[in-house]
Chains A and B, each alone.
Chain A
């Protein structure tokens, strides 16, 4: 894989097509689990695992799986990896497993995973698909953790389970607080994203104009030289 392609995939997964703030996918765990930043990291790790391995297998089998049964096949593959990570967490990380509760099992129906399988892994080579899964997962994890940090600090006065101060606004630890925080994050993320994109476009246009002007100047200079 070329470096440029790798960069594209990484940027898509984490920023341009950020599943949480840009595509608004995986809303259920985003709203439910962001009361504690540590749970967000755990959930993110589980999603990364499932995304990477499901994308890997689906990409490997993309020429074998018939189109008509692709969705059942994807679901079976995804469910297998969700079950594996669920078993692993129950065995080795029981407190995290308990904290995530039913949301761990609900990864099976997470739109991010099925969406990437359907739109990316089933059409792209293995390495690209694995990278896509990894960075989509990283994007999801970062978004969740950011929200978790804000809600945990405001709602509980804690950070990663450690008490910072006794001041807390319990509203942020409740479902309504989750919706508000989510909305604010989406707004801030998209405003920043659009501003940066405009700036980059402007810069690109400016560069293009400068190149054009330079080329024109060169052309004029060469014409004058010829005439002279």
Chain B
């Protein structure tokens, strides 16, 4: 009986084993064949580069002394969701070939370009190296590389050009890659005019050797608003002088703000802990901007990997109007009216928070962010972190950071005022 069962089961088993064995054998042979072909037909990165470049650039001879690895400080820029992968320099002409990736394309994809930037800071040519998810890239005209952006100066951000194209997102990714290359050319290669880099350089020169290893980052004072509409730059400027740049200068927990203004001559005021740490020639304490700087003090706090900024625009009778600033990808500005009363030990304690400008645009997280504001009532500087951690919300981290920064700035201002009064 047992023998019979064994005999009847065998053909099925054998057939299954045979099927698997044949399939595996075919796969193994195919893999071996492909491995051999790959060995014979493999195209190196250098060959790919040479091929792509040959379409747009004749007689390229790389400068052996020029480092192909990009300067890491300028190799990425979140504004363009971009990065620079490699940079080459032509030995004869001094032209630069920048391999730049630009994001923001269709389906979250990107386009990588080779962009030729001449020593005169003008874009000479560009070509697509590769793309991710841009299935309609064929709808970008084949001669786009001869027309779009060619002859443009890299000194300023280049506007989207999609003449003859019917794909907005892929064209946007191309525009981002071009701007990424231009950004790198301006900052790392020193091509074209770069007033921002000049301002940074002037700030570092003013601060001197002690601050040489401090990191400078630009706070976007044009995008950030103090009340939901008026930009920080406008709030601090007057008719005579306009605030051009605000740099966050930091090393570990040591933070300074460098305000740059003046059209013909750069004027710089560096503020640390609410006091002038350094100022350039020509800066007067009576300058409207200097007055405005101290009337609208900017605070910064580091929460995890985020730098959150808040600007205190008004303080009267224990009511502090503070704006958590929109910076970079952070959502819109939150403006809070924070009421603070002295606690038993004289330190400030939040007795009320009113959101006067709601920075969140839409979505469920808006309610969560607003709930956080309510939960911070009763906060003091020494317990705000605990309160925040107990009530922090998912899906609105950056908005929550702005609210926390605004409340923390108001408490800091209250405590500073009370300490100085004592």
- Chain A residues within 8 Å of B, Cβ to Cβ: 61, 64-66, 68-69, 72-73, 76-77, 79-80, 83-84, 87-88, 90-91, 94, 101-102
Q: Is the CB of A77 within 8 A of B30?
A: yes
Nearest residue (CB) in A for B18 is A66
Q: What are the interface flags for B37-48 relative to A under an 8 Å C-beta threshold, 1 for contact and 0 otherwise?
A: 110010100000
* B41 partner, pick from A61, A64, A90, beta carbons under 8 A: A90
Q: What are the interface flags for B135-162 relative to A under an 8 Å C-beta threshold, 1 for contact and 0 otherwise?
A: 1001000000000000000000000000
8 tightest A-B contacts by CB? A80-B30, A66-B19, A87-B41, A91-B41, A69-B19, A69-B23, A84-B37, A73-B26
* 26 A–B contacts, CB within 8 A, in A order: A64-B22, A66-B19, A66-B22, A68-B15, A69-B19, A69-B22, A69-B23, A72-B23, A73-B22, A73-B23, A73-B26, A76-B26, A76-B27, A77-B26, A77-B30, A80-B30, A80-B33, A80-B34, A83-B37, A84-B33, A84-B37, A87-B38, A87-B41, A90-B41, A90-B43, A91-B43
* A94 partner, pick from B22, B38, B51, beta carbons under 8 A: B51
CA distance A79 to B135 in the complex (A): 22
- Chain B residues within 8 Å of A, Cβ to Cβ: 15, 18-20, 22-23, 26-27, 30, 33-34, 37-38, 41, 43, 51, 135, 138
Contacts of A73 in B (CB 8 A): 22-23, 26
Q: Is the CB of A68 within 8 A of B19?
A: yes
Contacts of A91 in B (CB 8 A): 41, 43
Contacts of B43 in A (CB 8 A): 90-91
Nearest CB in chain A: distance from B138 CB, A: 7
CA distance A69 to B27 in the complex (A): 12
CA distance A68 to B20 in the complex (A): 10
CA distance A69 to B33 in the complex (A): 21
6 extra interchain contacts, Cβ-Cβ under 8 A, other than A80-B30, A94-B51? A65-B22, A66-B22, A69-B20, A77-B30, A88-B37, A90-B43
Counting chain A CB atoms within 10 Å of each CB, which of B18, B26, B27, B33 scores highest?
B26
CA distance A114 to B94 in the complex (A): 54
Nearest CB in chain B: distance from A157 CB, A: 16
Majority SS at the chain A contact face: helix
Contacts of B51 in A (CB 8 A): 94
Contacts of B30 in A (CB 8 A): 76-77, 79-80
Contacts of B19 in A (CB 8 A): 66, 68-69
Nearest CB in chain B: distance from A58 CB, A: 10
Q: Is the CB of B41 within 8 A of A88?
A: yes
CA distance A64 to B51 in the complex (A): 44
* A66 partner, pick from B15, B27, B37, B41, beta carbons under 8 A: B15
Contacts of B23 in A (CB 8 A): 69, 72-73, 76
Contacts of A76 in B (CB 8 A): 23, 26-27, 30
Nearest residue (CB) in B for A101 is B138
Contacts of B26 in A (CB 8 A): 61, 65, 73, 76-77
Contacts of A79 in B (CB 8 A): 30
CA distance A90 to B44 in the complex (A): 12
CA distance A47 to B182 in the complex (A): 43
CA distance A72 to B26 in the complex (A): 10
Nearest residue (CB) in A for B27 is A76
Nearest CB in chain B: distance from A76 CB, A: 5
CA distance A65 to B23 in the complex (A): 8
Contacts of A84 in B (CB 8 A): 33-34, 37
CA distance A80 to B31 in the complex (A): 8
CA distance A77 to B34 in the complex (A): 11
CA distance A76 to B18 in the complex (A): 17
Nearest CB in chain B: distance from A12 CB, A: 28
CA distance A41 to B396 in the complex (A): 56
Contacts of B37 in A (CB 8 A): 83-84, 87-88
Nearest residue (CB) in A for B33 is A80
